[in-house]
Amino acid sequence: MKRIAVYCGSSPGSNPIYSDAARELGRILASEDITLVYGGGSVGLMGVLARSVIKASGEVIGVIPEAIAKMEVAYNEIQDLRVVKDMHTRKALIAELASAFIALPGGVGTAEELIEILTWAGLGFHQKPVGVLNVNGFFDPLLTFLDKMVEEDFIAPEQRAMLLINKSAAGLLSQFNNYIPPKMDKAQRSIKLSGSEN
pLDDT digits (tens, 9 = 90+) for 59-116: 999 999 999 998 878 999 998 999 999 999 999 999 999 999 999 999 999 999 999 9
Q: Indicate whether 147 belongs to any domain.
A: no
Contacts of 181 (CB under 8 A, 6+ apart): 121, 127, 162
pLDDT digits (tens, 9 = 90+) for 17-56: 999 999 999 999 999 999 999 999 999 999 999 999 999 9
Confidence band of 182 (pLDDT split at 50, 70, 90): confident
* Whether pLDDT at 174 is above 50: yes
Rounded distance, CA 184 to CA 128, Å? 14
Tell me if 145 is assigned to some domain. Answer: no
> Is 121 domain-assigned?
yes
103 domain-assigned: yes
Does pLDDT of 137 surpass 80?
yes
Domain extent, residue 67, equals 3-139+163-183
Q: Look at residue 192 and tell me whether its pLDDT is greater than 60.
A: no
Name residues whose C-beta falls within 8 Å of residue 109's C-beta, 6 or more positions apart in sequence. Answer: 7, 10
Residue 183, pLDDT > 70, answer: yes
Please give the Cα distance from 140 to 135 (Å, whole number): 10
Q: What is the pTM of this model?
A: 0.92
Return the percentage of the chain with pLDDT > 90, whole number. 87
Are the C-beta atoms of residues 37 and 117 closer than 8 Å to each other? Answer: no
70 in a domain, yes or no?
A: yes
Gap between the Cα atoms of 1 and 98, Å rounded = 9
Model confidence band, residue 6 (pLDDT cutoffs 50, 70, 90): very high
Overall number of domains in the chain: 1
**Angle subtended at Cα 159 by Cα 158 and Cα 163, rounded to the nearest 5 degrees:** 110
Does the pLDDT at position 186 exceed 70?
no
What distance in Å separates the CA atoms of residue 50 and residue 58, rounded to the nearest whole number?
A: 9
**CATH at residue 30:** 3.40.50.450
